[in-house]
Amino acid sequence: MAIHRGMDASIDDGLAIEEAAFAQIAPTQDAKEGIAAFLEKRVPSYKGD
């Protein structure tokens, strides 16, 4: 969504779109699992939440 919306946007608008998308994803359990798996050098186990 952020890529499609940001393609023709100004840099400021593109950054705002990216920030809004990140704010929706960052607090999820899957995001935390992805970071933990990366740091622990293991395959992540995503649950869709």
pLDDT in tens, 1-49: 888 988 999 999 999 999 999 999 999 999 999 999 999 999 999 998 7
Instruction: Give the chain's domain count.
Output: 1
pLDDT of residue 6: 87
Distance CA(19)–CA(39), nearest Å, equals: 23
Q: Does residue 45 form part of some domain?
A: no
Question: What pLDDT, on a 0 to 100 scale, did the predictor assign at position 42?
Answer: 97
Residue 49 lies in a domain: no
> Which range marks the domain in which residue 28 is found?
2-39
Query: What is the model's pLDDT at position 49?
Result: 76
Per the domain annotation, does 47 fall within a domain? Answer: no
Report if residue 14 sits inside a domain: yes
- Tell me, yes or no, whether 25 lies in a domain: yes
13 falls within a domain: yes
Q: Which positions ≥6 away from 47 have C-beta within 8 Å?
A: 29, 30, 33
Q: Would 44 be classed as within a structural domain?
A: no
